[in-house]
Amino acid sequence: MQLNDHGESLCGQHVLQYPYRRATGPILGRFFTEIRDNGRFLGIKTSSGSVLCPPVEVDPDTLEDLSVDDLQEVGPAGCVTSWTWLSEPRPGNPVQRPFAWALIKLDGADSALLHAVDAGSESVMRTGMRVIPRFADERNGGIRDIACFVPED
């Protein structure tokens, strides 16, 4: 018997997966709880007076710990500050038809949240457009409690 490399190589489908579960900490815990239970967004006010959403645990200017007392409501509507069109959604993407990944600055916030915008067509997308969240039918705590954002009008 001879081994040669002229035969066609066999090919198999492999999946490498990790069932991670991450601790949110107190600030993001409140952020996700508020989305899940009330459909409301929280940002966090820093020492410089800016409001960050998603909220962070540490003040980016002073490096002091921030507290849940610094959280305040933002949104739920906002505007797109940047976006990229995904013409072929991948399995597991939040929208299963062509959509945009977008940075969305919620009203009252000074930083942007990354999420999907289901606009139907790339021609609808523009920087500065107004969007509102569409929440998932079943909310279990996590960013997927927001199904996606859609154009406001």
Judged by CB under 8 A, which of 58, 126, 142, 152 binds another protein?
142
Quote the least distance from Cβ 21 to another protein, whole Å: 5
Asked if 12 touches another protein (CB under 8 A), the answer is yes
Residue with tokens 């610094």: 70
For residue 100, count CB atoms less than 10 angstroms from its CB and return exposed for 0-12, middle for 13-18, buried for 19 or more. Answer: buried
Asked if 19 touches another protein (CB under 8 A), the answer is yes
Scan residues 54-113 and list those touching another protein (CB under 8 A): 91-92
Asked if 138 touches another protein (CB under 8 A), the answer is no
The answer to whether the Cα torsion of 87, 88, 94, 96 is positive or negative is: positive
Rounded-to-integer distance, Cα 18 and Cα 33, Å: 24
Quote the least distance from Cβ 91 to another protein, whole Å: 8
Rounded-to-integer distance, Cα 103 and Cα 82, Å: 5
**Beta carbon nearer to another protein, 79 or 143:** 143
Judged by CB under 8 A, which of 13, 84, 87, 121 binds another protein?
13
Judged by CB under 8 A, which of 4, 84, 121, 123 binds another protein?
4
Rounded-to-integer distance, Cα 20 and Cα 42, Å: 25
